[in-house]
């Protein structure tokens, strides 16, 4: 597994960009909760060591890095609701969250590095898409960490209001416990009705 570096950021700076934002989303696969995205502009002189795809890091390491990033980077966080996911589809909702994260940055970026191979609709800034960008670009890796921590915290909070689904540990993903709770406890307002396991319970004959 490759570890991210600042090759893409250096290339953008060499082309004249000053504020380079990495953008990533988290939460496309869960049955419940919003999809969230983060945009992070790193200070090239203060890049925290150990940045990586959030999925490659322990929870403890993610939390530590997210706290460091709060002090040394510009951060924007955006989300798209379950209603928007059901209305638009998960890909479009992911892009809505990405655009909101970019707009939430304290300063407008000059250049945007986007995880994946699709450009969010309406993005009118110079940009580059990078497949598996969270394993290649430190800015996108930072965004993946920030987005993951923010969404996990939100799902933990929702788990206190809707106990039994295991959201404090599964973050809304379709674990065995979560799927069984859907059958036993029913569908909450935070479930994605367009996702098949939820849809099937709502509209079973």
Binding site members: 24-25, 115
Annotated binding site for a divalent metal cation: 24-25, 115
Rounded Cα distance, 13 and 6, in Å: 10
Tokens of 164: 């039994």
Rounded Cα distance, 198 and 171, in Å: 16
For residue 188, give the nearest of 32, 34, 83 by alpha carbon: 32
Q: Is 13 helix (H, G, I), strand (E, B) or coil?
A: helix
Length of the chain: 205
Parallel, antiparallel, or unpaired for β 20-26 and 111-115? parallel
CB 170 within 8 A of CB 152: no
Look at the block and give the residue holding tokens 């990586």: 52
């Amino acid at each position: 597994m490759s570890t991210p570096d600042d090759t893409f950021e250096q290339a953008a700076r060499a082309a004249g960009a000053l504020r380079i934002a990495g953008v990533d989303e988290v939460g496309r696969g869960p049955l419940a909760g919003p999809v969230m995205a983060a945009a992070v502009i790193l200070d090239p002189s203060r890049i925290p060591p150990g940045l990586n795809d959030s999925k490659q890091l322990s929870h403890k390491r993610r939390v530590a890095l997210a706290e460091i990033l709060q002090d040394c980077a510009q951060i924007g966080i955006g989300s798209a609701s379950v209603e928007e996911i059901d209305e638009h589809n998960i890909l479009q909702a992911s892009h809505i969250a990405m655009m909101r994260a970019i707009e939430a940055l304290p300063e407008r970026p000059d250049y945007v590095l986007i995880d994946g191979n699709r450009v969010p609709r309406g993005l009118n800034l110079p940009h580059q898409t990078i497949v598996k960008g969270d394993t290649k670009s430190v800015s996108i890796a930072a965004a993946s960490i920030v987005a993951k921590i923010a969404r996990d915290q939100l799902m933990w909070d929702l788990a206190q209001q809707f106990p039994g689904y295991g959201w404090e540990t599964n973050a809304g993903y379709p674990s065995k416990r979560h799927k069984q709770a859907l059958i036993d406890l029913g569908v909450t307002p935070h479930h994605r009705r367009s996702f098949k396991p939820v849809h099937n319970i709502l509209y079973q004959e």
